Structure 1
């Protein structure tokens, strides 16, 4: 059961990495440091969008419109941290203590 706990924590860490990468890349695109017309940048950007849209979509439907400010990555990160806290507090169930 320890391996299930470690796999879940790994998946949550990977999700956090992708959300941070998407967030940083969106800022770099907004400030025109990165150009979406470049094929490599476009592939990474569209891949991250397709990967994270199932997470962001339901959050965006619930959150009120903020006039161009997207808070769904922040809410997703808070949700991931909450899941991590719950998993760590219940680690005894996974570890058999």
Structure 2
């Protein structure tokens, strides 16, 4: 059972890095640092969008719009950190 919890913690950690990569890529596209019409950049952006959007869309529907600032990745990262702490402190020690 601890192996399963370890895998869950690794997947949550990987998802945090994917959220950060999606946010950085969106900034790079917004400031015209990278060309979104480049095939590689487009494929990476599409992959990150498809991976992160299913969890970000419900958060965006709940929080109010703050103009051009999107706080949903930060909120999702905080939720993931909370889940990691709960698993690490309360669930992991009680599993044999």
The aligned runs of 1:20-35 (5 Å cut-off) are 20-35=20-35
Q: CA deviation at 1:26?
A: 1.1
In structure 1, the residue matched to 2:55 is 55
Q: CA deviation at 1:17?
A: 1.0
Measured in 2, the distance between the counterparts of 1:42 and 1:81 equals: 29
The aligned runs of 1:1-97 (5 Å cut-off) are 1-90=1-90, 91-94=92-95, 96=96
* Structure 1 residues without counterparts, runs of 5 or longer: none
In angstroms, what is the RMSD of aligned CA positions? 0.9
Normalised by the length of structure 2, the TM-score is: 0.93
Normalised by the length of structure 1, the TM-score is: 0.93
Q: Give the number of aligned pairs.
A: 95
Q: Secondary structure at the match of 1:34?
A: coil
Q: Which runs of 4+ in 1 moved over 4 A?
A: none
* Structure 2 residues without counterparts, runs of 5 or longer: none
